[in-house]
Amino acid sequence: MGDIQRQQVLQGMKAVSAIYPVTYSTPLSLGRLREVTMTLLYNSKTSIQIVVMIGSLLLGNLPFR
């Protein structure tokens, strides 16, 4: 594992942030429902809780030494 630079982390976060609206809107545009488990994952959370959850998932998967 090499050193992780801040720029790489920011690029990854931007990529995830860009992909999420696309994956959310695709089923809607096709007239399909979202996956049930993913819908349930966000249903009972506030916006702040969702941001914290996604942030912790992103940070939890970084390979720190």
Q: What is the pLDDT of residue 16?
A: 82
Range of the domain at 16: 6-60
Q: Has residue 53 been placed in a domain?
A: yes
Contacts of 39 (CB under 8 A, 6+ apart): 33
Q: Has residue 65 been placed in a domain?
A: no
Q: What is the pLDDT of residue 34?
A: 67
Interatomic CA distance for residues 56 and 45, integer angstroms: 15
Q: What is the pLDDT of residue 2?
A: 64
Question: pLDDT of 18-55, one tens digit each?
Answer: 887 887 788 778 887 767 777 777 788 888 888 888 88
pLDDT tops 60 at residue 65 = no
**Tally of structural domains, the chain:** 1
DSSP designation for 46: -
Q: Supply the pTM of this predicted model.
A: 0.42
Q: What is the pLDDT of residue 43?
A: 80
